[in-house]
A and B are shown apart, each in its own frame.
Chain A
Amino acid sequence: MNEKERLLNVLKGDRVDRPPVICPGGMMSACVTEISDQVGGGHHTSSKAMVSAARKINELIGFENYGVPFCLTSEVEALGACVNLGDNLIEPRITRYNDKSLEVIMETYSPNEVTPVRMGIVLEAIRELRNSRVPVIGNISGHISTATSVVDPLEMFKLLRRDPERAARFMAFINDYLIRYALKMVKAGADVISISDPTATGEILGPRNFQKFAVPYYQNIIKALHQEGIPVILHICGNASNIVAALNEVEANAVSFDSIVNMKTAREKVKTGLMGNVSTQLLHTGEREKILSIIRNALHSEVDIVAPACGLSMATSVSNLKAMTDYVKEGYYK
C-alpha cells in the first residue's frame, strides 16, 4: 500500500494497514526554517520553490503527502488584502484589510477569476507535483477565516448580528470564490482538498453562529468537491467541543482538531474520519519521549490520520517532526 492509496482509503472509510501521518500544508505548514533554508526561500512566490519544499517535507521529514501552499494568504491577497510574505523565520501574514465596502468587494472581484497573484503559482505547483505515489493536498482557507482576513474581523463579527443577511451574502460570495479555486486545484491534480478555518472556532463564533454561518457553507463546498470524487479534510482551531456535533452535518471525510480537544471524546461523537492532534507546542519545544507519548495517546483514541494539531512554529526542528513520522510508521506497530 503506497502513501496515496493509504490516505485515500482512509478518507473513504476503508481499512488500512496503519494510520497515515501527514501534514496537509496551508496553515499546517511543515515548511519550517530548516526546510525553508534548504529550499533557499521563495516557497510562497515561486512554483519551483513551492514544489521543492513540498518534496523535501515528504522526503526529509517523512510526512506522507505533498501539500501546498504553505499559508492561508494567497486567496485573501487576491481579494484585496495586503500581505507581508514573511521570511525564513516568520510565516506570511495580513498587514492591511481591504477597506472597501462588502458590496464593492463583491463587485470588483469577479467570482470567475481565481488565478491571480499567487493562486496561479499554487495551481502550477500542484500540476508539477501530481503523481501516482504520494497524495497531493490542495489547501484553502475556510470562508469564515477568508472573510475575516479580507475585511476587518471585528466588523465582520458584528455584522453577523447586526445585519445577518448582508453577512450571509458576503460569506456566500467568498465561499463561491473558494469553491472555484478548489475545483481549479482538483483540475490541476490535487487528490485531496484540505480546508482550514481557524477563525471558525466555536470559541469565537459559539454554536449558534457556527450553525448558521459556517455549516451550510462547508456543506456547499464539500458537496462540490465530492461531485468531483475528491475527499475533503476540515480543520477547526481551538476548543471545538461545542461544535463537534454540528461538524457531523458537513460530511467532510475527516475533521481535524486542535490539541485542546480530547480525541477520545471526539471519537465518540464524530461520525466521519478523525485527524490529529499532536500538540504543536510540544513538537516545537518538547522532548522526544513526551512527543511520542502523546502520539501514542492519539493512536489509542483511534484517530484515523495522525497530524499536527494546528499550525507549526517555523522554529520546530526537523528531528522532532521526523520522530513523529517514524513513530507512526514503525514504532507503534513493531
Chain B
Amino acid sequence: MDKETLFREISHALVEFEVEKVAELAEQTLLQNIPAFETITEGLVTGMKEVSRLFEEEEYFLPEVLMCSDAFNAGLEVVNPHLDKASLEKPIKMVIGVVEGDTHDIGKNLVGILSGASGFEVYDLGRDVPLDRFIEKAEEVESDMICMSTLMTTTMDGMKTVIDRLIERNIRDKYKVLIGGGPISQTFCDKIGADLYANDASSAVRKAKELMGRV
C-alpha cells in the first residue's frame, strides 16, 4: 500500500471506530519508514476532522465520538514513540475543568478529547474543580488557555470569580478564557469578560484555534 492509500485507510478506519485496525495500519506505516508526524497529521488528525464534521452535522453523537477517540489514541500510541519532536509546532496549552459545585462533565470531556485530537496539550482538572485550581494549574504549566464548563445556573458565577481573580493578580492578559455549558451564552460571556464562548465541542475547538491564530 502506498503512503497516501495508507493514510486514507487510517482515516477511514478511525471514522468507522475500528480501534485495532487503526493500530495495525499505524504499525504498517512504521514498517514502511513513513515519518510518524505525517501519519499523525495526514491519517489520524484527518480522520478526527471528519469525526468533528460528522458530530457537527449530528450524524455522530457522543458514543461514536468516544469510540473514534479511542481509535485515534490507539494509532497515536503506536507512532508517538517514533515522532521527531523537532517537526512539531509548539502546541497550544489548555487547562480545562468543570467549575466548583458541579459534576456534569460530559461536555467538558468531549471538548478535552477533541482538543487533544487537534494537537492541543490538554490539562484536564476534572469536575467540581476549586476555582483557584484553574489559575494555579495554568500558572504551573504556562498554559495559553483556561477553559471552564458548567451545566448549572448556580455554579456559572464561579467563572466570573476566576476571571476577577486573574485581574486581581494582574495576569488576565496571559490567558484566553473559554467558557461553555448548558446555561452559558454569548451574553454571559461578554458580561463576565471571557474571551470566547462556544455552544458545542466541535466549534469550541475550531474557535479556540482561530483565537490562537492557528487555522
Residues of A within 8 A of B (CB): 90, 93-94, 153-154, 157-158, 160-162, 199, 203-206, 209, 238, 242, 280-281, 284-285, 313-315
Contacts and interface: CB of A to CB of B under 8 A. Distances in A.
A157 B64 CA distance: 8
A284 B155 CA distance: 12
Contacts of A158: 63, 66-67, 70
B109 A154 contact: yes
B103 A93 contact: yes
* Interface majority SS (helix, strand, loop, mixed), chain B: loop
B193 interface: no
Given A280-B153, A281-B153, A281-B183, A157 B101 contact: no
Contact of B62 (A90, A157, A285): A157
B63 A205 contact: yes
A204 to B, nearest CB: 5
5 contacts: A157-B62, A158-B66, A161-B17, A199-B106, A206-B63
Given A158-B66, A161-B17, A205 B153 contact: no
A213 to B, nearest CB: 9
B153 A204 contact: no
The 9 closest A-B pairs by CB, nearest first: A206-B61, A157-B63, A313-B154, A160-B63, A158-B66, A281-B153, A161-B67, A204-B62, A93-B103
Contacts of B60: 206
A84 to B, nearest CB: 9
Contacts of B103: 93-94
Contacts of A154: 66, 106, 109
A209 B154 contact: no
> Which of B63, B64, B101, B154 has most chain A Cβ within 10 Å?
B63
A204 B154 CA distance: 22
A134 B11 CA distance: 59
Interface in B64-111: 64, 66-67, 70, 101, 103, 106, 109
Given A158-B66, A204-B61, 8 more contacts: A90-B101, A93-B103, A153-B106, A157-B62, A206-B58, A206-B62, A238-B182, A314-B154
B152 interface: yes
A157 B66 contact: yes
Task: Decide if the interface of chain A is mainly helix, strand, loop or mixed.
Answer: helix
A294 to B, nearest CB: 15
B130 to A, nearest CB: 14
B191 to A, nearest CB: 12
A94 B17 CA distance: 30
A102 to B, nearest CB: 16
Nearest to B70: A158
B188 to A, nearest CB: 10
A280 B156 CA distance: 14
B63 A284 contact: no
Contacts of B101: 90
Contacts of A314: 154
B8 to A, nearest CB: 22
A209 B183 contact: no
A209 B67 CA distance: 14
A205 B17 contact: no
A209 B17 CA distance: 16
Nearest to B185: A281
Contacts of A315: 154
A161 B63 contact: yes
Contacts of B109: 154
A313 B182 CA distance: 13
Interface in B135-182: 152-154, 182
Contact of A285 (B17, B61, B70, B153): B153
B45 to A, nearest CB: 21
B58 A242 contact: yes
